[in-house]
Structure 1
Amino acid sequence: MTVEPLWNTDHPPRQGLGLMRLRDTGDADADRDPAAVVHAALDLGINVLDTAEMYGNEELVGRTIAGRRDEVTLCTKFGVRWVGSEDFSVHADAASVVASCEGSLRRLGVDTIDLYYLHHRSEDTPIEETVTAMADLIDAGKIRAIGLSNVTEEDVRRAHAVHPVFAVQEQWSLTSRSVEPMLPTLAERDVVLVAHSPTGHGVLHRSTGTSLGAALADIADAHGVAAGTVALAWIHEQGRRRGQRILPLPGTTSVNHLRANVSAADLHLDDAQFDRLTSADPT
């Protein structure tokens, strides 16, 4: 069984946009207007937009892409629900998959979700049950491709045996490297790694008194860019050097920050810069 490509494989997207913090606060600042951020991304060729049932903003996302739906690779996630304000529960059984999908389609105001992720692995529901239900959604035309997030390498193997997985979304940055042992498994199955939080939830935008902080500052000065742009460029460089499908997914609520993030795709690090960043101690 093959996976329908979500984009032109000869010209894949270089970067996506994480929408976790997108909110309509009524702020008069045009730089932070949610519609302006999304439309600026589309105008700059960033058309992979990522949200989730858990984020509580699918209706807002739906409104921002209305009229431009055909330009968007629309991604959302299911299965995680807040329990109070601090904890969450996972719902990955077949009935929850169907109900969550219907809810997301309604809130987003679309007929099909391009990439639908299980947001977090379940300790209770076998991943085979979850993926079988997701595959049924493909057959029904509700979604186009299957994604997984916050899973193990073994989860990926078991899921992919049921139906091809298009993408796995995990945190990857200079301060979070735990996904790296999974990369060969993803490459073997031609699964895209979607690297969320590539600037360490914003930590790498700021100067720190560590060897990593010094490396980022020096390289940023050499290129005339911000430290966060260099940190994001490191993820792009990983994909180029590994010859692997890696899609960085920075999130922002600012048009100006968005433009800086987009510029990272064109920032090439030389061997010395790449190696210095890779080996630098972030603590």
Structure 2
Amino acid sequence: MLQFFNQDCSQINESWLLKQNLNAILGIRVVLLVVVHTIWWFQIYNGHYNFLFLLTNLKFLTIWGLNLLHFYLIFAVADMIYYKAKKVKFQLFWKLEHFIFQFGFSTSLTILILFWGCVYPSLTNKYTDDSWMMFVNVCYHGIIFIIYYIEFAINNIIFRRKQFILTALGCILYLVVNIIVTFTYGRVYPLITWVNTVSYLYVLAAFIITLFHFCLAMVLYNKFKLPTVSMSFDHLSIPGSVIQLTNKDLPSDNELIKNQSTF
């Protein structure tokens, strides 16, 4: 499945915005990880502490987005610490990290719009009048969205058309979970019953928003990030040639080391 990333290379330790300032990149990610980890623990409290919520809350797409961001930042921070210590990129999980971020980022706008526009108006007073629950909802459906964009603003992770297939498969997997939970234990969301036309319209709207957000990431990457990434490698272009290398053409670290060793 992760062959969709074969033409890319690990870009967890790179930033088009902060260049090669690894300490600044790592520092920002550590702060983001602390914030997300704190929000992640909010799941266990709903009037009383219950660690079972860590499992039962997996029926919500919101929690999928939260967990994906949480794991992405854990992997990214570990990746950067390894890189700073060994001066070699950690090759084991980078494709998974790219996919996790793509899926989480793409669905973050869906979660934001559908919760505040559709789910929140249907909630009972228990969730709308309680200050703690309101704070949690703002964190889940606001702060997490902002953190996704902060990370997107500094990283070099590429969004390619063919990679949306993986995001679509992730969405389908969630829908399967939602259907199973709905018919086994009850509706996950009040408006999605899977037995009326309105339910399928909401699902279609969610898919369209996710696709739009993925495409928006591609446009933003090509407009703002790619020129800066390409400029960093202008010295690798052929003198006098109009051909410029883009990020997909760049050799990997291992290839550069191998080429240097032949001279």
Q: TM-score range by the shorter chain?
A: under 0.3
More strand by share: 1
Greater relative CO (CA pairs within 8 A, separation 6+):
2
TM-score (norm 2): 0.26
Higher helix share: 2
